[in-house]
A and B are shown apart, each in its own frame.
Chain A
Amino acid sequence: MSVSEVASLLNQDNSSATIGHHGKVPVEHLDYGYIEKCTHTKYLEKILRELRSGEEGMYPHLIQFCEDHLRTLDPTSRALRKEQPIATAGSLPTEEWTEISQDLQQWQEEAKDYEMSRRPSAMFHNAGNENIPPIRSSGASVPLGQNAASKAKKDPPKRALPRDYSQWDTFDVDRECERIDGNVSKKDTPAVINSGHVNIKPGVDVTTLTEKDKLLLADREKDKGNEAFRASDYEEAVVYYSRSLSIVPAVAVYNNRAQTQIKLKHWHRALQDCQRVLEQEPLNLKALLRRATVFQHQDRLSLAAEDLRAVLHVEPHNATASDVEGDDDVATEDEEKAEEHARPVDRRQLAGGEESVVTPVERGDMGNAQKKPHGGHHGDGASADTNHGSTGHFRRGRGGSWDKHKAAGETPGKAANGTGKRGSTASEHGGGGGGSKGGGGSAGVDLDAPCGALPPPLARLKNEGNLLFKNGQFSDALGKYSQAITGCTDSGLDSPEDLCILYSNRAACYLKDGNSQECIQDCTRALELHPFSLKPLLRRAIAYDSMERYRNAYADYKTVLQVDDSVQAAHNSVNRITRLLIEQDGPQWREKLPDIPLVPLSAQQHRREEPPTAEALQARADRTASDTARRAEVRFNALKLEGNDMVKKGRFQDALGKYTECLQLKPGECTVYTNRALCYLKMERFAEAKQDCDAALRLEPTNKKAFYRRALANKGLKDYLASSADLQEVLQQDPGVQEAEKELEEVTALLRQSLDAGAGASPPTAKPRKKVPITEVRSATDSTPRPPSQEVDNTASINLQPADAYEFGQSLNAARSQGNAAACAQLLSSVDPEQLPQLLGNQLDGQALGFVVEALDDHLLARDPGRVYRLLRHLRTADRFTVAVMLLETAERRRVTQLFAHLSAVQSADFTKDDVLNLANKYII
């Protein structure tokens, strides 16, 4: 063992990193020291299990120690869950059990009393059920598998195998694409969020209930409210508290609702609820604390302090109150001094207080200004006017402590907002002093604040304008802005952005004064300076809107939405105007619209993947052109689909018609050609099939399907060479097409055969292909003579209607190899004797001749001696006849002699004995 190994073994004890979690716990780990150091909860659990199992001996104290250590690390560990016997009355402290049992006893008594009192009235209540909703329309049945079916539709089974050719025949690219697109779009269905508190009835009808039942219901609604509150569903909680209050107005519920309203920042309503509680219970601590919170948020600190002091008076050690009070400490002192002054201000804020806290932070830039109710600002300004002396004094006097308190007790944003607001009123009257108090909201207050590239005097003019505007003095603001604009143009300042803002602001003033015409002019100027600027666009839209020039307004709103589609006002207005325009102009209202400019991407604040308006514009421009094309497309697709369907059903003739129509609509479609070629193939119209394939290949020179089908057509046309070339092409493109391989083998075999057939084989013609039966002969080696009936049966496999020399030769060979003379006779009786030499070609040899003779002698002679004579006469003229006769074997020669003997014995009108003798001379040498 090397030194390092020993070292690592020693180290193992202390390093939990090297612990193997799967092996047994080493005995050394079952140790106080190790357990105390171990921080790995999973491993500790393992140690605990090991200890509890008792395999290493029982150490109750160590187990306890391990459990305690584990509990400190992970109090929820499952290893700590132990089976515990149920507690009984004895396992509780006596006084606790007494309390519980007394409580229970009391409840039992109450329940009994209640039942006794309720019983007589039970009969009476049976009738009072008319407010129950009616019975559900009955018999509705819900199949369990409803969802399962739709799920199957959503997830099509994944294909493991590549499509084979028969699938390609019915493959429709468009449909596949649609399916894939469809899958994607389905995912866009939104989640269902159950926020149904809006549908909950706000009140409960309890007219028929007894007092006790009402309490019960009220309690239950309160529980629901409490639960919703705990789950942070504050709005729902308010609904349930209100329901509870509608049954029984209880102090606790009002109190809870106040707390919920505080969470929702509905200060005014929270205050109302607190007041109601305090009317009934003037010293309700919770209500006092909550009212203090509300006052604090409403910046009525003196009242808040009063409430907190009341709480501390009742309960000197109330932690919450002293905490808040602590924050207020510094403020309180000042508060007391300033109380006299503060009161009137606070009173006034009582009315508008809620509003002022809720309104968002105001800035020098006036974007927000026009979205807000202006009456409120007017009021603020006016009230400040009348009371400016005390306000200014009060605020300035305790500015320092104020900020401190705010920072401690509230969110910084709120503090800044509040101070800024006050600062603005103060600064108006008290000069530039407000700026020093500046939080985030005071940018517009500092009149000398720099404004873009504007020189200080102009910036000051602008800021003054902003301030005046904010105070509702629109015409004064107008003047300031106009001065600033003239100053700007006179100084030859090259800052289009600033000028744009100035114009835009002046436009806002015009808008407020109702001077829409001027407003539009200013906005247009601003937009010339800075195209697609949001505010001038919006203002011009509003101005157009107010002048009832809806089309222009619509265009502007649309442009606004392109720039920033989150402007809700624009959305609303677009909807409204769309309705108006449809009423005014009818369905073609869009055509009368002015052009909506396309906003460049750089100007879009909320860039979406595809701006819908841009899309709409594009669509409108292309609509007329694409309409007909689309209609054709639709018809084309429909026809094609119909065609495909018919192919599937095997109605090739109908499918052919559909495809032909398709091609009239759209001659450049490769797939239709290949599909039509398939129809032709199925109908064995090979030449046409080949033409279609050629056309398809002209459009798409590497179309596999076209090659494959042309190969089939060529095969049908007996052009095996071309067929095999096509198939090879297919296989070259895709070596895995087994159909093509098989077909190629077959064609090659045919090709060889036709080459073997040699010159006698007729060249390929357009005639429909006939099956070439190549049957293996099993009975050839059969030595036992077979009954004639079976021989006749065998003729079935021999083609008795040969069309050409090749087939005749095939048939003859087949018959000969079977030794089937009857078939041969039949074959001979079916052919024209004059044709016989041509049919035989150069195939005639001694054996064949002997076989033919045999057939004629045994089978045909008895039936049709005239024919036998004619056959023999023509057979003599066949190629190689003399050679064949010379090669005849003795038995065959005898046969020939026999045939002529029989023939001469026959009396026939077709020939004389002399004729037969003459002929016999030719055969018998």
Chain B
Amino acid sequence: MSTPFEKPQIISHIQKSLNYTIFDSKWIPCSAKFVCLGNLARGTGVMQIYEVARGELRLVKEIENAKPLKCGTFGATSLQQRHIATGDFGGNLNIWDLEAGEAPLYSVKAHKEIINSLDGVGGLGVGDGAPEIATGSRDGTVKVWDPRQKDAPVANMEPGEGEAKRDCWTVAFGHAFNAQDRCVCAGYDNGDIKLFDLRNMSVRWETNIKNGVCCVEFDRKDINMNKLVATSLEGTFHVFDMRTQHPTKGFTSVSEKGQKSTIWQVRHLPQNRDVFMTTGGAGNLHLWKYDYPAQRSKEDSEGVSMGVAGTVNLLQNVTLSTQPIASLDWSPDKKGLCVCSAFDQSVRVLIVTKLNRV
């Protein structure tokens, strides 16, 4: 390699082994702390808060939950409160005040089965709209919750009578660029991707990528939707240009075969929406950059505008572990800092350098 240090480098900063299976890790906004969510050997859930201090991790707090915790988000809380919302194996949506006691502030039996994924919007100054949490569950439904309303979801996206219930693996908010517009994108185990428009309460777009959709994420939640990345079970990911929706062809996409194994997660750099990291089933991380085409839309043979997809370039790839990396979270405050958790029961704090130069 001729110029190894020109490219961004992924550096392992801290690694810590845990005594439980960790599913998700999230930075607490405006702090050097993060939350780990997982499953203790005795079948209960656990939430731990760690602080990064002088190259080490210091356990700040531990909370135990009746059910294993699968996923969490800070997306719907204010910068002042910083309450985490979690989804567990029993289908419960809980909101916790990390500084207060051990009982959740808000708790609702959101789904009949495990909550696979959740996402929040409207908090942390992200977007202007109401704080909302979307949950996707194995029971086939996607629900949207407002932390100010107990017991009932504010929107419910469920299969109709007689339709097969597909396992919803991932949900993501996007298009929240003003107080009214908002979209939820959901990915299912059969490869379906559905985009729900919460303003019109309708399915705005759907497609199928042929393989189970492990993760979807908009490049940025609080802008006029721009790009959507969807990762799949067999290692391909698709980047959709969400600016131009053709009436029949939908959104244009570019796909890239990242790795041979499942891509568990995709996370865009909070400071630059065109850079994103994918985490693989073989314990590897790929850092990508999306380059826009010269013209983002063109006219098809009938004169209808359709999007033009750009290209995806690999910036860096590393192998961390032999086990799948189930989650990754970029620090919203410190560019290049991220925390990732793998199924080898360890959590790692990584530093990605030279992100300014990409």
Q: Footprint of B on A, CB under 8 Å?
A: 68, 71, 76, 78, 81, 83-89, 91-93, 96, 100-101, 104-105, 107-108, 111-112, 114-115, 118-119, 121-122, 125-126, 129, 132-148, 187, 189-197, 199-201, 209, 212-213, 216-217, 220, 223-224, 226-228, 230-232, 236
Q: What residues of B have a CB within 8 angstroms of the CB of A223 in the complex?
A: 270-272
Check A118–B80 contact: CB distance below 8 A. yes
How far is it, in angstroms, between the C-alpha of A852 and the C-alpha of B194 when the chains are bound? 85
Does the CB pair B130–A132 fall under 8 Å? yes
- A88/B159 contact (C-beta < 8 A), A142-B201, A232-B292 known: no
A147 partner, pick from B126, B158, B206, beta carbons under 8 A: B206
* A108 and B52 in contact, given A141-B157, A192-B244, A194-B224 (Cβ under 8 angstroms): yes
How long is the Cα–Cα vector from A143 to B162 in the complex, in angstroms? 12
Contact between B319 and A85, CB atoms less than 8 A apart: yes
B132 CB to closest chain A CB, in angstroms? Answer: 7
Q: Are B273 and A227 in contact (CB under 8 A)?
A: yes
A84 in contact with B319 given A122-B81, A200-B178 (CB within 8 Å): yes
Q: Could you pull out 15 A-B pairs where Cβ atoms are within 8 angstroms?
A: A91-B9, A104-B334, A105-B54, A114-B30, A115-B30, A139-B154, A141-B156, A146-B203, A196-B181, A199-B180, A212-B30, A213-B125, A220-B125, A223-B271, A236-B224
Residue of A nearest to B302 (CB): A187
Is B71 an interface residue, CB under 8 A from the partner?
no
A234–chain B nearest beta-carbon distance, Å? 13
A138 touches B152 (CB 8 A): yes
In the complex, which of the residues A191, A197, A231 contacts B245, with contact meaning CB atoms closer than 8 Å? Answer: A191
**Cα of A144 to Cα of B226 in the assembled complex, Å:** 23
Query: Are B79's CB and A189's CB within 8 A?
Result: no
Residues B30 and A191 in contact, CB atoms below 8 Å apart: no
- Which of A195, A196, A228 is packed against the most chain B CB atoms within 10 Å? A196
Enumerate chain A residues within 8 angstroms of B319, measured Cβ to Cβ.
Answer: 83-86
Query: Which residues from B are CB-within-8-Å of A232?
Result: 292, 296
Residues B247 and A144 in contact, CB atoms below 8 Å apart:
no
**Contact, CB under 8 Å: B30 / A194:** no
Residues from chain B with a CB closer than 8 A to the CB of A135 are 130, 146, 148-149, 154
CB atoms of A194 and B245 under 8 A apart:
yes
Cβ contact within 8 Å between A194 and B243: yes
How far, in whole Å, are A589 and B305 apart by their CA atoms in the complex? 38
* CB-CB nearest in chain A for B285: A86
* Nearest-neighbor residue (CB-CB) of A85 within chain B: B319
User: Given the complex of chains A and B, what is the CA–CA distance between A230 and B271 in angstroms?
Assistant: 13
- Taking A84-B319, A213-B79, A230-B292 as contacts, is the C-beta distance between A142 and B178 under 8 angstroms? no
Q: Which of B214-255 contact A (CB under 8 A)?
A: 220, 222-226, 242-248
Minimal Cβ-Cβ distance residue in B for A230: B274
Additional A-B contacts beyond A125-B78, A132-B130 (12; CB < 8 A):
A81-B317, A86-B10, A91-B9, A92-B11, A114-B30, A144-B160, A187-B247, A189-B247, A191-B245, A191-B304, A227-B273, A232-B292
Indicate if B21 sits at the interface (CB-CB under 8 A).
no
User: Are A193 and B30 interface neighbours, CB within 8 A?
Assistant: no
Given the interface pairs A104-B351, A114-B30, A122-B80, the reply to whether A140 lies near B273 with Cβ below 8 Å is no
State in angstroms the CA–CA spacing of A129 and B83 once bound together.
15
CB closest residue in chain B, given A205:
B128
B202 close to A112 (CB less than 8 A): no
Interface string of B318-332 (1 = CB under 8 A from A): 111000000000000
Report whether A201 and B128 are in contact in the complex, using a CB–CB cutoff of 8 Å. Answer: yes
Q: Are A136 and B297 in contact (CB under 8 A)?
A: no
Contacts of B13 in A (CB 8 A): 89, 104
Contact of B306 (CB < 8 Å), options: A191, A217, A227: A191
Residues of A within 8 A of B157 (CB): 141-144
CB neighbors of A among B269-283 (8 A): 270-274
Report chain B residues within 8 Å CB of A142: 155-158, 196, 201-203
Measured in the bound complex, the distance between the Cα atoms of B252 and A193 in whole Å is 12
Bound-complex Cα distance A115 to B156 (A): 37
In the bound complex, residues from chain B placing their C-beta under 8 Å from that of A115 are: 30-31
**Which of A88, A148, A220 meets B12, CB within 8 Å?**
A88
A86-B320, A126-B80 in contact; A193/B305 too (CB < 8 A)? Answer: yes
* Contact call B80/A193, Cβ cutoff below 8 A: no
Contact across chains for A133 and B129 when beta carbons are under 8 A apart: yes
| Known pairs A144-B194, A216-B30; A83 contacts B317 (CB<8 A) | yes
Pairwise interchain contact B292-A201, C-beta atoms closer than 8 A:
no
B177 within 8 A of A: yes
8 closest A-B pairs (Cβ-Cβ)?
A192-B245, A196-B224, A125-B80, A191-B305, A136-B154, A111-B32, A143-B160, A86-B318
CB closest residue in chain A, given B151 = A138
Q: Nearest CB to that of B154 among chain A residues?
A: A136
Contact of B318 among A85, A190, A196 (CB under 8 A): A85
Binary interface encoding of chain B residues 187-205 relative to chain A, with 1 for a CB under 8 A from any of its CBs, else 0: 0000000101010011101
Task: Tell me the bound Cα distance from A224 to B54 in angstroms.
Answer: 32
- Would A140 and B156 be within 8 Å (CB), given that A213-B125, A232-B292 are in contact? yes
- Within the complex, the shortest CB–CB distance from A208 to chain B, in Å, comes to 9
User: Which of B79, B80, B130, B222 has its CB near the most chain A CB atoms (within 10 A)?
Assistant: B80
The winner among B10, B180, B224, B319 for most chain A CB atoms within 10 A is B224
Measured CB to CB, the nearest residue on chain A to B336 is: A100
B17 at the interface (CB under 8 A from A): no
Report how far A196 CA is from B177 CA in the complex, Å: 8
Q: Which residues of A contact B101 (CB under 8 A)?
A: none
Would you call B345 an interface residue if the criterion is a C-beta within 8 Å of the partner chain's C-beta atoms? no
Cα–Cα, bound, A53→B296 (Å): 42
Asked if B104 CB lies within 8 Å of chain A CBs, one says no
Any A CB within 8 A of the CB of B337:
yes
Which positions 63-122 of chain B face chain A at CB distance < 8 Å? 78-81, 99, 122
Query: In the complex, which residues of chain B have a beta carbon less than 8 angstroms from the beta carbon of A199?
Result: 177-178, 180-181
B11 cross-chain contacts in A, Cβ below 8 A: 86-89, 91-92, 100
A217 CA / B128 CA spacing, docked (Å): 12
* Residue B308 lies at the interface, judged by CB distance under 8 Å to chain A: no
Once the chains bind, are B177 and A200 in contact (CB under 8 Å)?
A: yes
A100 touches B353 (CB 8 A): yes
Q: A104-B334, A104-B337, A217-B125 are in contact. Are A136 and B81 (CB under 8 A)?
A: no
**Min CB distance, B339 to chain A, in Å?**
13
Q: What is the distance, in angstroms, from B218's C-beta to the closest C-beta of chain A?
A: 12
Closest to A146 in B: B203
Indicate if the CB atoms of B154 and A138 lie closer than 8 Å: yes
In the complex, how many angstroms separate the beta carbon of A894 from the nearest chain B beta carbon? Answer: 80
Instruction: Across the interface, name the chain B residue whose C-beta is closest to A228.
Output: B223
Considering the chains assembled together, what is the distance between the CA atoms of A133 and B129 in angstroms? 6
Q: A76 vs B270: C-alpha distance in the bound complex, in angstroms?
A: 25
Given known A107-B334, A201-B178, contact A231–B128 (CB-CB < 8 A): no
Q: Among A83, A91, A134, A190, which residue has its beta carbon within 8 angstroms of that of B247? A: A190
A147/B272 in contact, CB under 8 A: no
Nearest neighbor of A99 in chain B, beta-carbon distance: B353
Q: Is B333 an interface residue (CB 8 A)?
A: yes
Q: Are B154 and A193 touching (Cβ within 8 A)?
A: no
B18 at the interface (CB under 8 A from A): no
Whether B163 sits at the interface, judged by CB under 8 Å, is: yes
Docked CA distance A69–B274 (Å):
29
Interchain CA distance A100-B334 in the complex, whole Å = 12
The interface residues of chain B lying within 8 Å CB-to-CB of A145 are 159-160, 163
Complex alpha-carbon distance, A201 and B242, angstroms: 21
Tell me if B41 counts as interface (CB < 8 A to partner A): no
A923 to chain B, nearest CB (A): 81
Residues on the B chain within 8 Å of A112, using CB:
31-32
Given A86-B11, A139-B156, A223-B272, residue A118 in contact with residue B30 (CB < 8 A): yes
A191 partner, pick from B179, B194, B244, B333, beta carbons under 8 A: B244
Bound form: Cα–Cα A107–B349 in Å: 15
Is B156's CB under 8 angstroms from A144's CB? Answer: no
Q: How far, in angstroms, from A209 to B127 measured CA to CA in the complex?
A: 15
Q: Which listed residue (B30, B55, B270, B351) contacts A111, Cβ 8 A?
A: B30
Q: How far is the CB of B289 from chain A (nearest CB, A)?
A: 11
Q: How far does the alpha carbon of A151 sit from the alpha carbon of B163 in the complex, in Å?
A: 16
The answer for the CA separation of A105 and B284 in the assembled complex, in Å, is 27
